[in-house]
Amino acid sequence: MIYTIERANMITDQLRRFKSGYAHHVVGQFANIDFWLNEVLEAQKTIDQYNSRFNNIRDIQKNWINSHGTKVYDYCPHCGGKCELSNGTPSPPNRISSSDMNETRRNLVNSAYYFLTRCYRMGLLNDDELKQKCDLIGTSIDPNDLKK
Ligand SMILES: [Zn+2]
């Protein structure tokens, strides 16, 4: 499981559903808008701090492997057991690509943005409130999205 991505995607999916739901459903979710925007902020933070968490994992694993002489031999189908070509040094963890991270972050912000603009068009947010909430999640407003 890729925690950072899955967490953000869960929130993205949720907000996407709000945006296209019946008006009375949107109103219901709007009652908790501050909760949802906070979820977006937390997920953004989780994404933005990923590289530093990843480096912690990589570095401490490397130190452990070096100081303990850790060897791991995966089953090799060719050798029928321990691979004769492997020196047994465990492979480092895989880093999620920054393009995957950026795309996840963009989808998250967009889904929150479309929910906010739907609320605006329904008259649940005024101009100032919309602007303030968009600033909070770090997105600008396209005037085309505000036409009622
Ligand atoms: Zn082998």
- Domain count of the chain? 1
Q: How far is the CA of 135 from the centre of ligand 1 (A)?
A: 55
Q: How far is the CA of 91 from the centre of ligand 1 (A)?
A: 16
Q: How far is the CA of 76 from the centre of ligand 1 (A)?
A: 5
Mean pLDDT of the chain: 94
Q: Indicate whether 58 pLDDT > 90.
A: yes
Q: Which residue do the tokens 């995957």 mark?
A: 100
Name the nearest CA neighbour of 105 among 39, 8, 18, 3.
8
Expressed as residue numbers, the domain containing 141 is: 3-146
Q: How far is the CA of 62 from the centre of ligand 1 (A)?
A: 24
Return all residues near 1 (Cβ < 8 A) that are at least 6 apart: none
Q: How far is the CA of 8 from the centre of ligand 1 (A)?
A: 39
Give the model's confidence band at 10: pLDDT under 50 very low, under 70 low, under 90 confident, else very high. Answer: very high
pLDDT tens, 11-39?
A: 999 999 988 889 999 999 999 999 999 99
Return all residues near 25 (Cβ < 8 A) that are at least 6 apart: 18
Q: What integer pLDDT is reported at residue 107 of this predicted model?
A: 98
